[in-house]
């Protein structure tokens, strides 16, 4: 099953897609935000055409774990997305993901202008890869307890 990872921002949505085995996350083009209806339609089209079985959305919690204003926007986006994509939409804690993505791009000597265009995609890859890695460990642990 393929998973779609989203890093939802006010201006852009970073997008990542897993392979069919749910092992590796790869970045797709970043989606510029043009309006709620068109944004949801574009993501639904990706889910349909790419055979996605689950959407993972980065949830930017505060350091104390609470939901700040940006996280509340993401929760509202997820609520609007669920009936449109008709597959499970799950939140995933993305604290520091954008910071890590930015740092990786700096270390890769990507210019400030170049980083602006890809940081959301890299953040989406990190969100999805962290989720996939977690699922592998959780599934393995569940298999041990039932064996």
pLDDT tens-place string over residues 27-44: 999 999 999 999 999 999
Residue range 70-98, pLDDT digits in tens:
999 999 999 999 999 999 999 999 876 66
pLDDT at 134 over 90: yes
Domain assignments of the chain as residue spans, ordered by start: 2-146
Q: How high is the pLDDT of residue 100? A: 66
112-146 and 97-107 are packed helices; what angle lies between their axes, rounded to 10 degrees? 120
Kindly state the average pLDDT of the residues 134-140.
91
Q: How high is the pLDDT of residue 95? A: 72
Could you tell me the maximum CA-CA distance found in the chain, to the nearest angstrom? 52
19 and 125 Cβ atoms separated by less than 8 Å: no
DSSP letter string, 102-147:
HHHHHHTT--HHHHHHHHHHHHHHHHHHHHHHHHHHHHHHHHHHH-
**Architecture of the structural domain at 2-146:** 2-Layer Sandwich (3.30)
- Summary mean pLDDT of the chain: 90
Q: How many angstroms separate the CA atoms of 147 and 139, rounded? A: 12
């Amino acid at each position: 099953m393929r998973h779609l990872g989203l890093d939802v921002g006010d201006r852009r949505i970073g997008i990542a897609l897993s392979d069919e085995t749910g092992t590796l996350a790869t970045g797709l083009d970043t989606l510029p935000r043009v309006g709620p209806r068109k944004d949801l339609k574009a993501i639904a089209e990706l889910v349909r055409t790419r055979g996605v079985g689950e959407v993972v959305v980065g949830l930017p919690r505060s350091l104390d774990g609470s939901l700040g204003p940006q996280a509340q926007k993401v929760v509202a986006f997820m609520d609007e997305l669920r009936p449109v994509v008709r597959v499970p939409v799950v939140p995933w804690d993305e604290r520091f993901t954008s910071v890590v993505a930015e740092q990786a791009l700096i270390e890769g000597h990507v210019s400030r202008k170049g980083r602006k265009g890809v940081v959301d995609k890299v953040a989406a890859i990190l969100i999805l890869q962290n989720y996939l890695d977690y699922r592998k460990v959780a599934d393995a642990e569940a298999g041990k307890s039932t064996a």
